């Protein structure tokens, strides 16, 4: 999958069409939900919060929590306790929100 090259915010600000964002919801931001809201023209979809340290150390965590999806612009929601995650994911997302 290639990096997202379209700036959703810039595109929306020059248009009369609203920008639709699916905010993160506990237990309801997993991949099937993200695919569903994309089907209904959601522009940006948050992932569930990902604990960076677990993500970096655990292959199982990466397989379950991170599923790059063609055609869905995802905004990753990280609980940052390990900066290495930003290096690992930099080619797969357009932005991130960091809680420290």
What are the structural domains of the chain?
8-99 (3.20.20.70)
pLDDT digits (tens, 9 = 90+) for 12-55: 666 777 888 887 676 667 778 888 888 888 888 777 777 777 87
pLDDT band at 3 (very low <50, low <70, confident <90, very high): very low
Note the pLDDT of residue 62.
79
Sheet holding 21-22, edge to edge: 21-22, 44-51, 73-79, 95-99
CB atoms within 10 A of CB 73: 18
Mode of pairing for the β-strands spanning 21-22 and 95-99: unpaired
| Residue 98 confidence (pLDDT) | 63
The Cα–Cα gap between 48 and 71 comes to: 18
Q: What pLDDT is recorded for position 16?
A: 76
């Amino acid at each position: 999958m290639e990096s997202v090259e379209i700036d959703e915010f810039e595109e929306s600000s020059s248009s009369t069409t609203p920008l639709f964002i699916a905010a993160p919801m506990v237990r309801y931001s997993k991949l099937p939900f993200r695919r569903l809201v994309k089907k209904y023209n959601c522009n940006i979809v948050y992932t569930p919060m990902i604990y960076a340290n677990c993500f970096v150390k655990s292959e199982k965590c990466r397989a379950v929590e991170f599923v790059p999806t063609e055609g869905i612009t995802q905004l990753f929601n990280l609980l940052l306790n390990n900066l290495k995650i930003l290096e690992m994911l930099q080619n797969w997302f357009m932005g991130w929100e960091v809680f420290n």
